[in-house]
Structure 1
Amino acid sequence: MSVDEQLVKDAIKGDDSAFLRLMQLYKIDLYKTALSYFRNEEEAIEAIQEVTYRAYKNLKSIRDTAYFKTWLTRIMINYCNDQLKKNKRIVLGEEILNKQGNEENHTRMELKDAMLGLDDRSREILMLKYFNDMKIKDIASTMKCPEGTVKTWLNKALKALREKLEQKGGDLHV
């Protein structure tokens, strides 16, 4: 049993300090996930606060302590998708638009723009794989589907992303 799993078990038993340590361990991953959805630092921080509350409230619903990070990431993704649907908007971060137009920022902006043009599932699967460095089996667990399905969806998402970038005449190769 890993240290993380022991912390999860302790947190489920009511050890608040164990829960806080877990949240400290995963706050950067949660922040990156929220930021990739909202493109806004304040909304990302607010998302972490809300997800922390939801995770704490539903801590006893964890079935497998080994998948705590996956469970937490799923809560964040659901929250972000709900917020975007609720507000019917996608925010391009002002900090990206205000940066100098150097090639790296231009390429990053092209990639983010292309990602925003994908369907929710494709964007989600690419985020989990490439922004959160999750393994296929963890993505399958998060999305509650077989690994083979994840691989198929990932290939389709990459193809769609490649097409979006080519339409924009981007130099980025996926």
Structure 2
Amino acid sequence: MQKHEGGITLSGSVELSIKAINGDDEAFLGLMQLYKIDLYKTALSYLHSETEAIEALQEVTYRAYKSIRSLKEPSYVKTWLIRIMINYCNDVLKKKKRLVFDDGLLAAQGVSENHSEMELKDAMLALDDRSREILTLKYFHDLKIKDIADTMQCPEGTIKTWLNKALKSLREKLEEKGGSLNV
């Protein structure tokens, strides 16, 4: 039996989902507690700011609460929540103007982030929304192709094609910056 954080089983998560869909606020809060770390990591991987990631978590909690009754398949509650988070983050990124800092400014501000990690983040931000979403689901959340296909409501073959194109595009963006991708 597959276990989640806090010792809740997959079937326990489905039970919470069903209760939440039927209006049980405590069950909804239990779901958010169960998946808050995954949601936070998703927001952080997109927004690169703890403050913005926390704000995103609050907004996604609100959006999920408003639309929990629209969740058709309770066993996909995690992917449904992550999808809401990704959509929110993409909206934020579209509104935000991208600032490019030179190395001197970064050093002056005491930023000690690894260059290759920064290059990867920049390359991910340069991708289209679908590519960024697929790579995030596959490599940051370790979702299987089947689960990604279910989340995006597409055939598995399509997801594989999109994933290959996204990886190729990411490699090209990294090579432009002199980096590399080892996937």
User: TM-score scaled to structure 1, two decimals?
Assistant: 0.87
Shift in Å at residue 100 of structure 1?
A: 2.7
Give 1:136's aligned residue.
145
| Matches of 2:56 and 2:65, distance apart in 1 | 14
Q: What is the RMSD of the two structures over their aligned residues, measured on CA atoms?
A: 1.9
Cα gap change, 1:50/1:19 in structure 2, threshold over 3 Å: closer, same or farther? same
Query: What is the match of residue 50 of structure 2?
Result: 41
Partner of residue 71, structure 2: 62
Partner of 1:11: 20
The structure whose RCO (Cα within 8 Å, separation 6+) is larger is 1
Q: Which residue of 2 aligns with 1:89?
A: 97
Aligned residues: 167
Q: TM-score, normalised by structure 2?
A: 0.83
Q: Which amino acid aligns with 2:112?
A: Q
User: 1 CA distance for matches of 2:123 and 2:83?
Assistant: 23
**Higher mean displacement: 57-66 or 10-19:** 10-19
Q: Percent identity?
A: 70
Q: Deviations over 1:16-37 (max 9, x none)?
A: 1111111011111111111112
Determine if contact 1:136/1:150 at 8 Å carries over to the other structure: yes
- In 1: Cα distance, 2:91 partner to 2:122 partner: 20
User: For structure 2, which runs of at least 5 residues remain unmatched after alignment?
Assistant: 1-9
Aligned twin of 1:22: 31
Rate the CA distance shift 1:91–1:79 in 2: closer, same or farther, 3 A.
farther
Q: In the alignment, is the contact (CA less than 8 A) between 1:115 and 1:161 conserved in 2?
A: yes
